[in-house]
Structure 1
């Protein structure tokens, strides 16, 4: 199935919300990592979201360019081609884009989709994230609304963030973020609902913060407060009525307990970003390959090595398999197995 259109994407999100599961939103940086995610979705019979960060996109463009927009376009085109070979739905998304990278990343990608639409071609990406969490909320919402209006004209969903996800990811360090920024308030969520719901024919997602932290942690080390999401949704229903709850995104899930993750699904989380754990799942089998084949990979004492084990395909395939299996584990955790809408 080709990458979803706007209505199919909306149907995916509605399905998750109705049945209280979440889609894996897996970060990729290369053809190999994208292939791993697509295969995992297919084996688990789930639809899903593949996303590209600014740093991941820059990496994908290579040392010769280091161009975020070019790398994202390249990865998206590959995924469009390969997704046609699988019987599931796939949505393409871009991850955290702060204000200072809008002109180098998100805006050029919107322009690329606008060019495609003018030629009668499908959208390149289905959704984008603007990360204005570090800005004052009024400024964040002003920029978010302007972007949402442009996205709505092009049948693109916008994800925004209110508050700051702690830790460090993709070169953005929030380890010293003020404590109050780590927790989105019910008032913040109401402000988002009031401002963005006024944009006609639009759809948006909110990454609310409830103690989330980017990085590597042992299970239970991250202390989440999922009740923050519940309180925010209740405030929105109180003002706007039933059915007005926001579609929420879970960032910084490494180290979270299954219980906390499942609780968030009750409060409207329908998308969970997965990056750090996938990096390790990809790297671990490659490290194992290098340790076990040390003499074959290196030309030690003037020997010639063993082409079968230093050929990059021999170990990158193992990395792909490791990443695929971890994506499948997260799919099980998020309860999205066997939920594809393809052919339904």
Structure 2
């Protein structure tokens, strides 16, 4: 179906008290797995390409972005394209030209006042192009970044940041952290509810791969709207490749093991969507 926008998906989720899941993709196999899993589960998704993924592809965003656009247009579920954790302002400025409808402007490593100034300027420029803008606090939330273990976002500071920058969504620190390989994070659901009450834009949960399913459902019920998943896909993909090559060390045709990796990603995506969209009481 036609490529949709992140604003539409996030808006629909916020209006229904549910969440939209956003999955990071690095390779074509992961991209295929994400959309196959979304089709099985019957839920829309945001396809996220991070600045790190662009760097992996030699600094060229065009090929992967084009693949995402075409794959989304041929999918049976609605999907949008999001540029994630972008610090390179030239990359940010070219996002719309590559089909991205949203950008996560990441100035969180800058001192707070600089973060506000850079994010506000980028938000104005991206809004002029019709793009949806996500951002996060940095040093206000802790010197190691907004998603360092133990860091929590203050509702008052979050509301002030949104007012000063004009962003459309805010990533908040409520107990998750990036690159967790085990689902042992425990979210502060009371804080999620207080942030939801204080912040006038949708909340975004980064580091969701480390959060147990029941905690994800409770977070959504408390007011979390966009849920980002990345590491979980890498774990599934890598395990499938490792298992296949261990069972068949003579394999040389990448189709023999990448097919299984793609299927593992599809299963992980379908299960995660089912987990998040299940009844919170289940």
C-alpha contact 1:214 1:251 (8 A) present in aligned 2: yes
Which runs of no fewer than 5 residues in structure 1 stay unpaired?
A: 117-122, 167-172, 198-202, 237-244, 298-308, 338-344
Matching of residue 206 in structure 1 with residue 170 in structure 2: yes
Give the deviation of 1:194 after TM superposition: 1.9
Give the deviation of 1:132 after TM superposition: 2.1
Q: CA separation of 1:54/1:3 partners in 2, compared to 1, >3 Å: closer, same or farther?
A: same
Aligned to 2:163: 194
Matching of residue 86 in structure 1 with residue 75 in structure 2: yes
Q: Which has the larger radius of gyration?
A: 1
Give the 3-state SS of the residue equivalent to 2:210 in structure 1.
coil
Give the 3-state SS of the residue equivalent to 2:256 in structure 1.
helix
Aligned to 1:158: 133
CA deviation string 1:151-202 (max 9, x = no partner): 11111111101247x9xxxxxx8699595xx2110121221232234xxxxx
Give the 3-state SS of the residue equivalent to 1:35 in structure 2.
helix
* CA–CA distance in structure 1, aligned partners of residues 274 and 132 of structure 2: 26
* CA–CA distance in structure 2, aligned partners of residues 213 and 30 of structure 1: 23
Which runs of no fewer than 5 residues in structure 2 stay unpaired?
A: none
Matching of residue 12 in structure 1 with residue 9 in structure 2: yes
Matching of residue 268 in structure 1 with residue 223 in structure 2: yes
Q: CA separation of 1:20/1:215 partners in 2, compared to 1, >3 Å: closer, same or farther?
A: same
Matching of residue 130 in structure 1 with residue 105 in structure 2: yes
* CA–CA distance in structure 2, aligned partners of residues 290 and 259 of structure 1: 34
CA RMSD of aligned residues (A): 2.5
Matching of residue 223 in structure 1 with residue 162 in structure 2: no
Give the 3-state SS of the residue equivalent to 2:207 in structure 1.
coil
Give the deviation of 1:216 after TM superposition: 2.7
* CA–CA distance in structure 1, aligned partners of residues 29 and 135 of structure 2: 28
* CA–CA distance in structure 1, aligned partners of residues 65 and 106 of structure 2: 21
CA deviation string 1:39-88 (max 9, x = no partner): 111222211101111221222x2xxxx21xx1x22111112122222222
C-alpha contact 2:196 2:224 (8 A) present in aligned 1: no
* CA–CA distance in structure 1, aligned partners of residues 126 and 269 of structure 2: 29
Could you state the TM-score of these two structures normalised by the residue count of structure 1? 0.73
* CA–CA distance in structure 1, aligned partners of residues 10 and 155 of structure 2: 23
Aligned to 1:305: none
Aligned to 1:320: 262
* CA–CA distance in structure 2, aligned partners of residues 190 and 176 of structure 1: 18
Matching of residue 253 in structure 1 with residue 216 in structure 2: no
Deviating beyond 3 angstroms after TM superposition, the runs of 4 or more aligned structure 1 residues are 173-179
* CA–CA distance in structure 2, aligned partners of residues 176 and 196 of structure 1: 20
* CA–CA distance in structure 1, aligned partners of residues 204 and 23 of structure 2: 13
Give the deviation of 1:228 after TM superposition: 1.8
* CA–CA distance in structure 2, aligned partners of residues 194 and 176 of structure 1: 21
CA deviation string 1:291-330 (max 9, x = no partner): 1112xx1xxxxxxxxxxx3200110010000011001111
* CA–CA distance in structure 1, aligned partners of residues 173 and 29 of structure 2: 31
